[in-house]
């Protein structure tokens, strides 16, 4: 398989180097035709915040020439050394792409975003007509690996960030987040992320409060919530179902008595509190109040670590999916050789000829039977002559074009399906 892959990822280089090789969609669309012009008949490039990868397929595909192009195209200075890049060829390149698609090569184990990013890269290659016969099959197989990994294993299950863990927990307490209200106290990074995740789950009302009103307003604008003044937020508490607190404060922002009051004044049952402040913002004793679910950074981190460990345990299952799909792709690839295809075609047509002759031979006089055999053989040979010569003399075609031709013949004559049927029948 003349497939070559070159790239940079979080495994090989830090962010400041990765960002130098980051390609926007426009840059990808500009680069692919140039690569094709250099003789790589099929190529796909995708770029995310953690990786940029370039796949090329051609009889003459070489890692060195691809690396040169990769670095030159982005005018990268000497800061990126060969050690910052990775490269694979043939079988190893396929295996690598499948690992990436399955999410087990990602920084976040089981990442679900990566599959969409690969799809986007493949669609750009289709737009610039650099994804041909081989890349189509390769990337469809990669998407299949990604899909299988998510449906047949638990690789993408369980929250693996503190902010998402909090939202996931909320869904185990409340029935419909669209009917609930949340209050974010503070405007730090984790509070921002939690607010975004809550909004992503269509939380009914999202209020944000912060000592600096401008920051609360900015966050409210960003996530589509409502800013409320820090001095008066306590008046709103009995209408709130979820409170996320992450401010720097020497004293508790909410103590046990506050929480007891809130619970008493609430009509519905549960109150979910997430304390991600250091030092803690909510009195830990509030955990003992009936119907109060209080989580701090430590308890959320425990949840996250358990989920990461569970995802890691799924890797062997993913590896066997990858092995199956690589074997399938290799079977398909090796079927696309001229000589075995010609032999299979001859065998198929000869089988049909023989079958028909045997069925009808009794209609002929015994003296004509030899002639029937001869004539039918001649007809078959004449019909097959041109296709076989064309398949044999495909030297002027690129590897991909030749394989496409072979694949078409196999499909048109139903070589693989007829073989299967015959072997099942026998």
Partner 1 sequence: MLLGIIILHLIYLFARTVAFDHPPVTTVFEILSVLAFSVAVAYAFIERRSKSKETGYFILNIAFFFQLGSSLFIKDLLEVPQILRSSWFGLHVASALLGYAAITISAVYGFLYLMLYHQIKASNFGVIYKKLPNLETLEKMNFTAVTMAFGLLTLAIIVGFIWLQKTFSDYSLSDPKLIGTFIVWAVYGIGILAKKTGELKGRKVMLLSVTGFVIAVFSMTVINMFFSGFHKFN
Q: Enumerate the active-site residues.
A: 49
Minimum gap (Å) between residue 172 Cβ and partner 1:
5
CB 70 within 8 A of CB 54: yes
C-alpha–C-alpha distance, residues 216 and 247, integer Å: 12
Among 78, 82, 250, 267, binds partner 1 (CB under 8 A): 267
Non-local CB neighbours of 184 within 8 Å, separated by 6+ positions: 191, 194, 195, 206, 207, 208, 209, 219, 225, 244, 246
C-alpha–C-alpha distance, residues 368 and 234, integer Å: 105
Q: Which residues ranging from 48 to 87 are in contact with partner 1 (CB under 8 A)?
A: none
Judged by CB, which is closer to partner 1: 218, or 270?
270
Q: Which residues ranging from 175 to 204 are in contact with partner 1 (CB under 8 A)?
A: 175-176
Q: Does 306 bind partner 1 (CB under 8 A)?
A: yes
C-alpha–C-alpha distance, residues 422 and 289, integer Å: 72
CB 64 within 8 A of CB 82: no
Minimum gap (Å) between residue 194 Cβ and partner 1:
18
Q: Does 238 bind partner 1 (CB under 8 A)?
A: no
Judged by CB, which is closer to partner 1: 127, or 291?
291
DSSP-derived 3-state class of residue 178: helix
Q: Does 270 bind partner 1 (CB under 8 A)?
A: yes
Judged by CB, which is closer to partner 1: 115, or 166?
166
Minimum gap (Å) between residue 284 Cβ and partner 1:
13
∠2-54-64 over CA atoms, to 5°?
Answer: 65
Question: Which residue(s) pair with 170 in the sheet?
Answer: none
Judged by CB, which is closer to partner 1: 159, or 409?
159
- Half-sphere exposure for 299 (CA within 13 Å, toward CB): 14
- Contacts with partner 1, 139-178, as mask; x by CB under 8 A: ------------------------------x-xxxxxx--
Q: Does 205 bind partner 1 (CB under 8 A)?
A: no
Q: How far apart are the first and last CA of the chain?
A: 33
Judged by CB, which is closer to partner 1: 267, or 367?
267
Q: Does 295 bind partner 1 (CB under 8 A)?
A: yes
CB 380 within 8 A of CB 350: yes
Minimum gap (Å) between residue 170 Cβ and partner 1:
9
- Reading the block at residue 80, the tokens are 């990126």
Residues near partner 1 (CB under 8 A): 169, 171-176, 263, 266-270, 287, 290-291, 293, 295, 299, 302-303, 306
């Amino acid at each position: 398989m003349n497939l070559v892959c070159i790239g940079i990822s979080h495994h090989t280089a830090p962010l400041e180097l990765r960002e130098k090789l980051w390609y926007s969609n426009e840059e990808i669309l500009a680069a692919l035709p140039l690569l094709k012009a250099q003789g790589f008949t099929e190529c796909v490039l995708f770029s995310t915040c953690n990786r940029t990868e370039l796949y090329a397929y051609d009889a003459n595909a070489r890692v060195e020439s691809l690396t040169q192009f990769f670095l030159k195209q982005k005018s990268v200075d000497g800061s990126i050394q060969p050690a910052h890049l990775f490269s694979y060829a043939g079988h190893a390149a396929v295996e690598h792409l499948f690992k990436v698609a399955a999410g087990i090569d990602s920084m976040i184990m089981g990442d679900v975003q990566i599959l969409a990013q690969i799809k986007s890269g493949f669609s750009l290659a289709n737009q610039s007509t650099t994804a041909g016969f081989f890349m189509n099959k390769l990337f469809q197989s990669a998407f299949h690996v990604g899909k299988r990994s998510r449906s047949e294993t638990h690789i993408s299950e369980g929250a693996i960030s503190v902010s998402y863990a909090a939202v996931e927990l909320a869904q185990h307490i409340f029935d419909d987040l669209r009917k609930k209200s949340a209050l974010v106290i503070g405007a730090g990074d984790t509070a921002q992320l939690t607010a975004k995740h809550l909004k992503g789950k269509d939380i009914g009302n999202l209020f944000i409060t912060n000592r600096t009103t401008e920051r609360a307003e900015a966050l409210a604008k960003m996530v589509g919530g409502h800013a409320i003044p820090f001095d008066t937020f306590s008046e709103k508490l009995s209408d709130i179902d979820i409170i996320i607190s992450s401010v720097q404060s020497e004293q508790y922002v909410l103590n046990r008595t506050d929480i007891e009051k809130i619970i008493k004044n609430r009509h519905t049952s549960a109150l979910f509190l997430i304390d991600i402040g250091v030092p803690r913002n909510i009195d830990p004793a509030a955990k003992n109040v009936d119907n109060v679910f209080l989580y701090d950074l430590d308890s959320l981190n425990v949840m996250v670590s358990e989920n990461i460990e569970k995802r890691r345990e799924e890797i062997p299952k993913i590896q066997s999916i990858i092995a199956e799909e690589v074997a399938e792709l290799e079977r398909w690839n090796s079927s696309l050789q001229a000589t075995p295809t010609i032999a299979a075609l001859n065998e198929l047509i000869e089988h049909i000829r023989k079958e028909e002759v045997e069925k009808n031979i009794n209609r002929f006089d015994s003296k004509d039977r030899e002639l029937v055999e001869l004539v039918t053989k001649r007809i078959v040979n004449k019909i097959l002559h041109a296709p076989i010569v064309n398949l044999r003399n495909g030297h002027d075609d690129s590897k991909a074009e030749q394989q496409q031709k072979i694949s078409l013949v196999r499909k048109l004559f139903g070589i693989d399906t007829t073989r299967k049927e015959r072997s099942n029948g026998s």
